Amino acid sequence: MIIKNCNLNLEQIATSGQAFRWYKHQEGYVVVAGHKAVKMKQLDDGIEIEDEDNFWLDYLDMDRDYQSIIDIYKVKDDFLLKATDFGSGIRILKQDPFEITMTFIISANNNITRITSAIKLLSERYGDYIKTIDGIDYYDFPKPEQLINVSVEDYRACGVGYRDKYLYQLVKDILNQVVDLYALNTLSDSELKKALLRLKGVGEKVCNCIILFAYERYDGFPIDTWIKKVLIEVYQVKDNQEKFAEDYFKPYGGIAQQYLFYYGRTIKLT
């Protein structure tokens, strides 16, 4: 299918730090999501996906008008003007709660390369085989049931480091029906955050990533090491960053944050 939209850039989405299963492939990307692996290619005024499933329209959040959001932020200050221009093709993907929660537990105090490699290993070892595209095999992110016999050491062997025990605990809690990530979407923002913060390995930052990328809550503002640099060097805010961000970047703090992250990380502040 072809999707025409000017706020839709594959490379920007792939490198914006929200998804770890977009693989550069020939002229475009192979994207693994929704138990599928498909080729996507950039066009001048949109993208082409080698698949007809309407799942992708939802996954890519095509019902939202990102230009109207950019228009809100680009007039707030010069840095946001540059950031929204630079990342005008970014969209917030609607991703799977379990995969996102596991992924962002792994992301803590880690770098994007290692996170990507750990997610790939987990999928190859424990997820369903999906298909082979141009000689490369693609695997689904494992479902909790497929991780039932995976030990703390097994997680460690996938390169997740000391976060192994957090992953193990999360899967155990899900299998024992202590938590149901797929039932949390009915909760209010604050109740959802409280439920997620109870999980080991999930703190304020990871929680904000999870609610933004998997629960369509766009006011969470994840503050990581890059965003800290932006807040300090650009906005001169060193203390009470959460409070400042919540106020200054509303009402789509999470989306604004994504522009700041993508731009700030690219221009390498300091």
Residues near DNA (CB under 7 A) are 16-18, 107-115, 156, 159, 161-162, 166, 199-207, 209, 222-227, 257-258, 261, 265
Look-up: residue for tokens 């290993």?
A: 121
Minimum Å gap between C-beta 206 and DNA is 3
Minimum Å gap between C-beta 132 and DNA is 26
User: Which residues are registered as beta bridge partners of 29?
Assistant: 24, 40
User: Which residues are registered as beta bridge partners of 41?
Assistant: 48
Closest CA to 229 of 239, 242, 238, 220: 238
Q: Which is nearer to DNA, 2 or 157 (CB)?
A: 157
Minimum Å gap between C-beta 200 and DNA is 5
Closest CA to 236 of 94, 117, 79: 79
Question: For 130, how many CA atoms within 13 A lie in the half-sphere containing its CB?
Answer: 20
Q: Which is nearer to DNA, 113 or 177 (CB)?
A: 113
Q: Which is nearer to DNA, 32 or 227 (CB)?
A: 227
Q: Which is nearer to DNA, 41 or 156 (CB)?
A: 156
CA torsion angle 137 143 145 147 (round to 10) = 60
Minimum Å gap between C-beta 110 and DNA is 5
